[in-house]
């Protein structure tokens, strides 16, 4: 239905991607004339990319990174949504915890990393915790905002039908705040990748961050680009998936501007 | 239905005995009304099973407040309110309230909205669907069952709100100015539809409105409320034949009832006045007055 209006699908696809395609082509061609070791042509990088897939290095790094960030993110979402809902619902909880959360939120995550490494070792646990720490805030703040914006008349209406407690949370508060929660989730997810890579650069057994850092230190420039490219693709795919999910789950919302 | 007018004690659905309510506003600086505000005092009424009662009165006289008390959403300060002989202590599925504002859940389709109370009642998925279907059809919106509320007009939303309240089969329907936001013509249609549904389902209905005509046209009895503090000034028996058609509004009996209600509202000193809004509708409104607490 939505496709009915506006330019043809192919034309829109063209508009969206043409600039990127041109840049990629330039990346393919230009380095062949410059011949700088810092800028290998895209073709060379893709060959290395393929080699890295075949020898399994890329997969183990990708797998490690994904696992760590997904676990950290999952922990953050569960805690963030619960605490956020409490903050949004109970003014008192907000009053007592607000300052603490502001302090926590404003402290650079990487500044805290050494402490986490001391406490939880240099392994995956400290990375999971640092990711949870970094990603909990967008979800928490958004959830709280969503709950605050809840229409009182909807709560009243549900209560008039005998809904209370957990039922009210699951049937009314959560769905009503879901657009906010999903927006927070998308933000949290992109932050999780960001923080993960940084944390892995500071030391890890496997992971994309480690791979990039290690390659760069050993002047394996092409391998370094492979790591970067992977993260780029990961970020784009993740974002697209989350945008899609958000759309799916919020079809009930009236949109001022059609997609 | 003249025989249904004599309500026996055991057929009494709703009863309010000396109901009073004081709102305690939180103290705010610069707010002269901060402190407590008496919204209702000595409200006495009993409503029979299957009766259609209208509650009419100017804005701010406590109509919504009274409905909230009956629904159990608002705890009363004085007196007792009863349903089927037991005191009302909280919300329950024996009463359905249709709010002044559209209160459909925007994240649920029409069908899912109507199923809401049935979910609370833990009715099986299959039965829920069948019952919802039936009530969506009753309000004539079958083709819209899979739409979301934002895709509906105001009148349609209120019809769905009615279907939702009817679906879980409460004894009493509490309606708070349900048709205030729809145009005159649609409102006429909705009136006839509501009366048809009422006759078919045999619910007890308490219908709150600003509109004198609406209150008389629909009801068996009209309770006239006056403000400051809110109380029921008089209850008028409406002996107009049923089924009622719009033509009845131009009859002399109807005119007499209209004048009577109007007088009751006027006698409140200078407190009420008729306000004619831009769209030509008449409303009652309280004139600004000294604060009396
Ligand atoms: N939560 C509240 N706290 C304090 N005062 C309130 C509250 N709700 C309502 N009131 C006051 O109680 C009085 C009655 O309000 P209510 O909403 O019952 O009026 P109403 O008759 O339904 O008016 P309307 O026709 O405009 O809907 C009003 O003066 C209002 O200011
Ligand atoms: Mg009201």
Residues B63-78 have pLDDT tens digits of: 889 999 998 888 888 8
Distance A72 CA to ligand 2 centre (A): 48
Q: Are B172 and B17 in contact (CB under 8 A)?
A: no
Low-confidence ranges of chain B (pLDDT < 50): 1-9, 269-272, 276-281, 286-293
ipTM of the complex: 0.77
Q: What confidence score (pLDDT) does residue A140 get?
A: 92
User: Are the beta carbons of A159 and B73 separated by less than 8 Å?
Assistant: yes
CA distances from B157 to A249, B106, B132, B198, B232 (A): 22, 11, 15, 18, 30
CA distance B101 to B99: 5
Q: Is B97–A160 a contact, with Cβ atoms under 8 angstroms apart?
A: yes
Token pair, residue B119, equals 């979910």
pLDDT at B287: 44
pLDDT for the residue B174? 92
Q: Percent of chain A at pLDDT above 70?
A: 96
The arithmetic mean of pLDDT across residues A222-231, rounded, is: 89
Give residue A258's pLDDT: 52
Interface contact A32, partner B, CB < 8 A: no
- The pLDDT, as a whole number, for residue B33 is 58
Tens of pLDDT, residues A75-107: 999 999 999 999 998 888 888 888 888 888 888
Q: Does A234 touch chain B (CB under 8 A)?
A: no
**Roughly how many angstroms between the first and final C-alpha of chain A, as a whole number?**
11
Residue B231 Cα, gap to closest chain A Cα (Å) = 24
Residues with CB under 6 A from ligand 1: B 23, 25, 37, 39, 59-65, 100, 210
CA angle A144, A146, A150 (to 5 degrees): 115
Q: What is the pLDDT of residue A3?
A: 47
Give the model's pLDDT for residue A76.
94
Summarised one tens digit per residue, pLDDT across range B194-215 is 888 888 888 899 999 988 889 9
Exposed/middle/buried for residue A220 (C-beta within 10 Å: 0-12, 13-18, 19+): middle
Contacts of A162 in chain B (CB under 8 A): 91-93, 120
| Confidence at residue B268, expressed as pLDDT on a 0 to 100 scale | 59
pLDDT at B280: 46
User: Where does the pLDDT of residue A184 fall: very low under 50, low under 70, confident under 90, or very high at 90 and above?
Assistant: very high
* pLDDT score for B102: 81
């Amino acid at each position: 239905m939505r496709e009915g209006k506006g330019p043809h699908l192919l034309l829109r696809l063209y508009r969206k991607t043409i600039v990127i395609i041109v840049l990629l082509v330039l990346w393919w061609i230009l380095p062949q004339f410059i011949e700088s070791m810092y800028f290998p042509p895209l073709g060379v990088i893709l060959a290395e990319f393929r080699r890295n897939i075949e020898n399994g290095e890329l997969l183990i790094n990708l797998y490690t990174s994904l696992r760590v960030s997904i676990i950290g993110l999952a922990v953050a979402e569960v805690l963030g949504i619960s605490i956020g809902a409490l903050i949004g619902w109970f003014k008192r909880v907000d009053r007592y915890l607000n300052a603490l959360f502001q302090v926590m939120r404003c402290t650079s995550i990487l500044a805290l990393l050494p402490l986490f490494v001391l406490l939880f070792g240099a392994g995956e646990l400290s990375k999971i915790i640092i990711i949870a720490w970094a990603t909990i805030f967008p979800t928490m703040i958004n959830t709280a905002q969503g709950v605050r914006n809840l229409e009182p008349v909807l709560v009243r209406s549900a209560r008039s039908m005998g809904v209370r407690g957990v039922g009210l949370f699951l049937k009314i508060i959560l769905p009503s705040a879901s657009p906010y929660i999903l927006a927070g989730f998308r933000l949290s997810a992109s932050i999780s990748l960001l923080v993960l890579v940084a944390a892995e650069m500071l030391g890890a057994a496997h992971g994309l961050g480690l791979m990039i850092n290690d390659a760069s230190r050993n002047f394996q420039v092409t391998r370094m680009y492979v790591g970067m490219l992977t993260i780029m693709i990961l970020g784009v795919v993740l974002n697209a998936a989350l945008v899609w999910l958000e759309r799916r789950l919020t079809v009930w919302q009236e949109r001022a501007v059609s997609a | 239905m003249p025989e249904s007018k004599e309500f026996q004690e055991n057929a009494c659905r709703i009863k309010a005995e000396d109901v009073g309510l004081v709102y305690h506003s939180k103290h705010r600086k610069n707010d002269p009304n901060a402190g407590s505000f008496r919204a209702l005092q000595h409200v006495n009424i009993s409503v029979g099973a299957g009766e259609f009662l209208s509650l009419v009165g100017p804005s701010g006289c406590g109509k919504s407040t009274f409905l909230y008390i009956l629904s159990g959403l608002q705890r009363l300060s004085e007196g007792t309110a009863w349903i089927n002989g037991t005191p009302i202590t909280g919300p329950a599925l024996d009463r359905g309230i249709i709010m002044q504002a559209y209160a459909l859940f925007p994240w649920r389709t029409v069908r899912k909205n109507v199923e809401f109370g049935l979910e609370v009642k833990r009715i099986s998925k299959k039965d829920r669907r069948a019952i919802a279907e039936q009530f969506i059809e009753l309000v004539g919106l079958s083709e819209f069952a899979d739409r979301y509320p934002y895709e509906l007009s105001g009148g349609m939303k209120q019809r769905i709100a009615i279907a939702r309240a009817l679906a879980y089969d409460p004894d009493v329907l509490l309606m708070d100015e349900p048709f205030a936001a729809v145009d005159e013509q649609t409102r006429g249609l909705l009136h006839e539809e509501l009366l048809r549904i009422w006759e078919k389902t045999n619910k007890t209905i308490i219908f709150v409105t600003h509109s004198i005509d609406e209150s008389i046209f629909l009801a068996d009895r009209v309770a006239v409320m006056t403000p400051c503090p809110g109380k029921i000034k008089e209850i008028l028996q409406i002996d107009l034949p049923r089924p009622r058609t719009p033509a009845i509004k131009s009859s002399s009996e109807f005119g007499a009832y209209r004048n009577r209600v109007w007088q009751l509202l006027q006698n409140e000193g200078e407190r009420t006045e008729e306000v004619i809004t831009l769209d030509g509708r008449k409303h009652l409104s309280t004139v600004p007055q000294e604060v009396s607490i």
